[in-house]
Amino acid sequence: MTLNALLKAALTGAGSAALIASAGMAAAQEYPERPIEMVVTFGPGGGADLMGRQMGRLMEKPLGVSIPVSNVAGASGNAGLTRLRTDPADGYTMGTLISLTVASWASGLGDSKPEDFQVLAVVQNSPSFLFVPASSPYQTAEDLFAYAKENPGELTVATSGYGTQDDVTLKLLARDGVQMENVPFQAPGERYASPIGGHTAVLYEEPGDVAQFLKAGQLKPLVVFSKERHPSFPDVPTSVELGYDISGLDNFRTVAVRAGTDPAIVEKLQSAVEESVASAEWQTFCAETYSCIQPVTGEEAQAMIRDFLQLITDQLAS
Amino acid sequence: MAMAPNMRTEDAARQAAAPPTPRARRAKRLIPVAVPALLLAASLALPGFMFSSDRRPDVPGLGPAAWPNAVLALLALCSAIWLFSEVWLLVRGRVSTSLATPHDEDVYHYGKALTGILLVIAFGWLLPIVGFALACAGFLLVWCLYGGLRHPAVLLLVPTIGTVALLWMFMGLALMPLSRGAGVFDRFSVWLLQLLGIY
Amino acid sequence: MQTIDLLMAGFASAFQITAFLTVVAGLLVGVIAGALPGISFVNAMAMALPFTYAMNVTHAMLFLGGIYVGGVFGGSISAIMINVPGTPASLPATWDGYAMTKKGQVKRALTIAVTASAVGGLVSALLLTFLSAPFATFAMKFSQPEFFAATVLGLVSVIAIAKDKPVITMISLLSGMAIGTVGVDPLYGQARFSFGIPEVESGIRFVVVMIGLFAIGEVVDLVATDRDLRPRKADGKVAGASFRDIWNVKGAIARGTALGCMIGVIPGAGATPGAVIAYGVEKQVNPRGKEFGTGIEAGLAAPEAAKNATTGAAMVPLLTLGIPGSAATAIMLAAMMLQGVNPGPLLFIMDPSMVYTIFAAMIIANVLMIGAGVGVAQMFSTLMRTPPAILAGFIVILSLIGAYGVRNNIFDVYVCLVFGVIGWAMKRVGFPSAPLVLGVILGPLAERYFLTSIANSRQDYTVFFTRPISATILSLALIFVLWSLWPSVRTRIGRQPAQAKPKER
């Protein structure tokens, strides 16, 4: 009871904050005049955290203010988005919005919608792969898929959960006859340790999150779920080449602000993001994580979020 | 889930907080029965409130409800055992020893305790509205008065120095995004933080 | 031996003035942050992360390593002095440590705690240095069923801790486990018990529950009982623990250290289950186990040694495999990745000097911790001279900042307040609250280990008993339960005879 009342009070407070804040439009010229908060929607140490911290650090130079990171983790990233959505739309709060969170909306989490956010830019994008441990009996995708076809459901795949794009990919593979068991691991560390230790047959992941294991030769990429081969892995065949039409389920990471932010401020932030992405430091970072892309901005970026949500919603419904 | 034990303990608190009249003593004897009864009721009722959306996709494996249901079933079982033994004792007119109030303090001012709790709650409630700086200074001031400190120097210095130190430590050094409050309080907080050199 | 040479080189670079000062700074930050009620070492490490941007990667690891080692201990200072655990791992320190404080032995308790912690941490740092490869192999043998079994062991040791009230302890534990199920479930991404409130989907974090139950309730009691925490005159006369006192608990320290090292390498477990299991085991093994909770040295030493023994052990999978097992090591991984360094087997080949500098620093940090711990404890006893009202006010503010800082979310502050009221009431009616916190910590772990195990074995429920390590741990857990419940069962069965010969042993 107390909880309810307190929550309501907090939400009313936040609501009135938004109303008052929209009055100060003239502030766009002087923007930014104080630190900008970077809300990372996951805990420290993950891919979204590294991206947010790297981006925040690089954006400090063009914007000339400090950009402290705050990790607001919870509910697949939706807790941080609630914060982003309820803070004033004055450009002093930006946050990370990633594909995993968008996919979670399809299974009913959170109450955010794509139109609640103004995406500054999609800054990282990477297709997912299937990896096997170095000692695996299946050293090519053909071997793996052939075995899975003959022994449906016998191979296990470590993923991030049911109802995610990982799950959708496995469902699409199963539709085409390759049936493997989805094994969700909530903690990324355990997700990678399990196949490396030989406890799970296959790992579904984007290469950037397992870069250290790839470099050490502990994991071997077998197939990329994409239309084109990944430039860093030219020898790894695509799912489309192998006859499985599975693509468009890439892992993307964006930086966003609340919808309704002054266009002049959005433009300033956007150019700061673009400048940061062009920096040598960012290029090293994204090359290390196999996720370099030309930043996608504006309406195109908004459309990317909407289409991705639609795709996952359709696939989960079928 | 958080609400059920809340109700339960608030109830218990109200009974425990009363002065030790014969009626209160009787109420106190009822606590060991009321607590397991409420827990039993909660653990039986809660599975029905597990999901608030009706969308139940067809899931593989045990599903998201299996674990909480198992935990709540065990909780119901244990509460039933406890309730049974308490009722048994009550019927036979023996005094229950399962819940014992700590004896190590001679005096306990329930009024003071409840005021303290209310002050803490008020602080937490004001935090997002007036911002950390004002809430903190105000809380320290009231808390000092509540703790019996009346010296003007104390009342002036503890809240101001305390607040500035905490602001510097957490917003300045640790870069925590503590609440700045809403509306006019937000602007005040920004002004204050700029004045202190944190922003 | 190559390891020795490398370690010597590591010591040489760790003793360079900047490196050394970095370790010391980290250690002090850790001990102080850990000792502040509400601010846990994980909080402190996350806050320190931006400061490491400007350092080189070795210094970054030295700084974070220092905070980690210091912070895991620091939580016990406030646990012992004011009955408010600074971090969840210090929960067991409130049981016997605070009891010693009430007997006027605060200095003794602190000395024993810091020595036990340092010994545990030191052994574990040496293990990290010399045996990381075999321990990493050992860790890789563990998979989800073994993690589940270890969590079950943690859960049952809570029952063992109970003082003759197994049913009520179970109820408290299960309530905690039920609270732990609030929010998005770990596998299916479905929100449970959210009652349509989006904020609840994020779930209820154990640190927030702990701060609410312990800090708020304790503060209210502090003002309501006119309790004076100022060191009494008698305390001055009672010196710290002598060498003999420490030597008397050597068995407890050894057992705690061994358990901590084993539990530390298990990803996900970490310091809190380590400390709790060590307390439970010690209570059973120690001849004075029955008196635990009344201020027995061994009951303080064992969990203290265990929780710091998890620090070095937890870094084994991080450094050797690149797999962070806990929130603290995940932050260290982030610090390394942000500098473009990938931990894992390659690191030992590519940059052994850095690895061994980290090893050396962990060893140094644990040795220095005795000094830092005593110094900070001294500082805290000075702070305790301030009027209780002012002290209590600051504890409230720090607690709510700590609750907020877990996820920078105001919702967590409200949750903390709710649990503050619950905790106060629980204390008033004598309902045990520690099992509840442990339920909130271990319940969600048990759930996801269980469900992932089942999925990974393709819905085979026998997997927990067919895998040797898992089966062994589970049988240990069973023996443990029977062993600890036997006395009260015996009392029930042979009612009269048991009362006829009371307090034997």
Summarised one tens digit per residue, pLDDT across range C226-284 is: 766 555 544 444 556 677 888 888 999 999 999 999 888 877 667 888 898 899 889 88
Chain B residues touching C447 at Cβ < 8 A: 67
Structure token pair of residue B49: 């409130």
Summarised one tens digit per residue, pLDDT across range B103-132 is: 555 677 888 889 999 999 999 999 999 999
Chain C residues touching B85 at Cβ < 8 A: 167
Q: Output phi, psi for A289, to 5 deg.
A: -105, 15
**Angle, nearest 10°, between helix axes B3-17 and B110-130?**
140
Q: What pLDDT sits at residue C407?
A: 85
First-to-final CA distance of chain B = 40
Please tell me the distance from the alpha carbon of residue C118 to that of residue C365, in angstroms, as a whole number.
9
Give A26's contacts (C-beta < 8 A, 6+ positions apart): none
Chain A residues touching B57 at Cβ < 8 A: 107, 163, 316
Summarised one tens digit per residue, pLDDT across range C175-200 is: 999 999 998 888 888 889 988 888 88
HSE of A160, CA atoms in CB hemisphere, 13 A: 20
Sign of the four-CA dihedral B114, B119, B125, B127: negative
Is the pLDDT confidence value at C455 over 60?
yes
Which of the 8 DSSP states describes residue C318? I
Q: What pLDDT sits at residue B141?
A: 94
A-C contacts at Cβ under 8 angstroms: 187
Residue A192's nearest CA partner among A175, A179, A205 is: A205
Burial of C237 (0-12, 13-18, 19+ CB in 10 A): exposed
- Interface confidence, given as ipTM, is 0.85
CA of B186 to nearest chain A CA: how many angstroms apart?
A: 8
Three-state DSSP class for residue A118: strand
Is the pLDDT confidence value at B44 over 90?
yes
Q: Do C187 and B39 touch (CB under 8 A)?
A: no
Q: Do B127 and C50 touch (CB under 8 A)?
A: no
Q: Output phi, psi for A290, to 5 deg.
A: 50, 40
CA of C390 to nearest chain B CA: how many angstroms apart?
A: 6
How sure is the predictor about C367, in pLDDT bands with cuts at 50, 70 and 90?
very high
Is the pLDDT confidence value at C329 over 50?
yes
**Alpha helices for A66-210 (secondary structure H):** 78-86, 99-106, 141-150, 165-175, 188-196
Residue among B11, B67, B101 with most chain C CBs within 10 A, to mutate: B67
Q: What pLDDT sits at residue C500?
A: 39
Q: What is the mean pLDDT of residues C328-333?
A: 88
C-alpha distances in angstroms, C2 versus A94, C9, C352? 50, 11, 11
Is the pLDDT confidence value at C485 over 80?
no
Structure token pair of residue C320: 């050797």
Q: What is the mean pLDDT of residues C113-123?
A: 94
Please tell me the distance from the alpha carbon of residue C155 to that of residue C450, in angstroms, as a whole number.
14
**Per-window interface: C 78-107 vs A, CB < 8 A:** none
Structure token pair of residue B80: 């039933």
Three-state DSSP class for residue C262: helix
Query: Tens-of-pLDDT digits for all 318 residues of chain A?
Result: 444 544 444 444 444 444 444 444 456 778 888 889 999 999 887 889 999 999 999 999 999 998 989 888 888 888 889 888 888 888 899 999 999 999 888 878 888 889 999 999 999 999 999 999 999 999 999 999 999 999 998 999 999 888 888 999 999 999 999 999 999 998 888 888 899 989 999 999 999 889 888 988 899 999 999 999 999 999 999 999 999 988 888 999 999 999 999 999 999 999 999 999 999 999 999 998 899 999 998 889 999 999 999 988 888 877
Please tell me the distance from the alpha carbon of residue A293 to that of residue A272, in angstroms, as a whole number.
16
Chain B residues touching C226 at Cβ < 8 A: 107, 109
Q: What pLDDT sits at residue C432?
A: 87
Domain boundaries, chain B: 24-50+62-97, 123-199
Please tell me the distance from the alpha carbon of residue C128 to that of residue C148, in angstroms, as a whole number.
24
Nearest beta carbon to residue B82 from set C50, C167, C443: C167
Q: Do A70 and B176 touch (CB under 8 A)?
A: yes
Residue of A nearest to C343 (CA): A212
Chain C residues touching A44 at Cβ < 8 A: 46, 49, 327, 330-331, 334
Q: What pLDDT sits at residue B52?
A: 79
Helix (H) or strand (E) holding A216: none
Residue of C nearest to A186 (CA): C186
Nearest beta carbon to residue C323 from set A108, A156, A192: A192
Please tell me the distance from the alpha carbon of residue A81 to that of residue C199, in angstroms, as a whole number.
11
Q: Do B2 and C396 touch (CB under 8 A)?
A: no
Angle, vertex CA A221, rays to CA A217 and CA A227, nearest 5: 150
Please tell me the distance from the alpha carbon of residue A102 to that of residue A256, in angstroms, as a whole number.
13
Instruction: Check CB contact of C343 with chain A, cutoff 8 Å.
Output: yes
Is the pLDDT confidence value at C499 over 50?
no
How sure is the predictor about B15, in pLDDT bands with cuts at 50, 70 and 90?
very low
- B63 dihedral zone (left: phi>0; alpha: psi -120 to 50; beta): left
Please tell me the distance from the alpha carbon of residue C339 to that of residue B43, in angstroms, as a whole number.
49
- The whole-model pTM stands at 0.86
Residue A136's nearest CA partner among A243, A217, A229, A207 is: A217
- C453 dihedral zone (left: phi>0; alpha: psi -120 to 50; beta): alpha
